[in-house]
């Protein structure tokens, strides 16, 4: 009876359809596909930060000839949220959104067309320098977060394409 239950449990586990996305490490299919992505230039400081983060992640398995290109448009917004009685802002929200398309360079086919974003809250204090530093730190953190979200979404699309 135990053997039958163990066999049944193993059969259900193998049928669940789960498979490791990065099987094979840097030489695996998904890692090699990610390494073959060329990141088109992106406007602005936020664009430079996102592009650098993406290139770092995509190049982890080497730099083969590009097979794909990713084009990204960013929307970086900073808005006041909490307004005090004297009409000063006490809290800001920085939002970084991306619209991106992954294109297969050999066929011109759009493999992925998606949007993603992230946001952060910033306390506005009496020191202007501290507020500027907090805004810049938020942008750097949002760029890293957004890049990771894009890499995950692209990896899933490339895995499903195979």
For the segment 20-45, the average pLDDT, to the nearest whole number, is 75
The answer to whether the predicted template modeling score (pTM) of the entire model surpasses 0.75 is: yes
Q: Side by side, which strands form the sheet with 37-39?
A: 37-39, 68-83, 89-104, 110-123
Pair of tokens at residue 86:
């004297």
For 63-108, the pLDDT digits (tens) are 778 899 999 999 999 998 877 778 778 889 999 999 999 999 999 9
Q: For the chain, give the mean pLDDT.
A: 85
- Answer yes or no: are the C-beta atoms of 91 and 81 closer than 8 Å: yes
Give the pLDDT confidence score for residue 23 in this predicted structure.
Answer: 47
Residues 6 or more apart in contact with residue 112 via CB below 8 angstroms: 100, 101, 102, 153, 154, 157
User: 25-161: CATH homologous superfamily?
Assistant: Lipoprotein like domain (3.30.160.150)
CB 153 within 8 A of CB 112: yes
């Amino acid at each position: 009876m135990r053997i039958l239950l163990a066999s049944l449990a193993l059969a259900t586990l193998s049928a669940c359809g789960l498979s490791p996305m990065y099987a094979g490490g840097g030489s695996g299919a998904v890692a090699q596909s990610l390494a073959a992505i060329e990141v088109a230039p992106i406007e602005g400081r936020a664009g430079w930060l996102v592009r650098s983060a993406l290139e770092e992640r995509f190049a982890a398995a080497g730099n083969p000839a590009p097979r794909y290109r990713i084009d990204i448009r960013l929307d970086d917004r900073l808005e006041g949220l909490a307004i005090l009685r004297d009409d000063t802002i006490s809290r800001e929200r920085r939002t970084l959104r991306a619209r991106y398309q992954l294109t297969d360079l050999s066929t011109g086919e759009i493999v992925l067309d998606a949007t993603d974003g992230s946001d952060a809250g910033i306390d506005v204090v009496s020191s202007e320098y501290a507020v500027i530093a907090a805004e810049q730190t938020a942008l750097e953190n949002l760029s890293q977060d957004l890049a990771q979200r894009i890499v995950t979404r692209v990896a899933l699309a490339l895995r499903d394409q195979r």
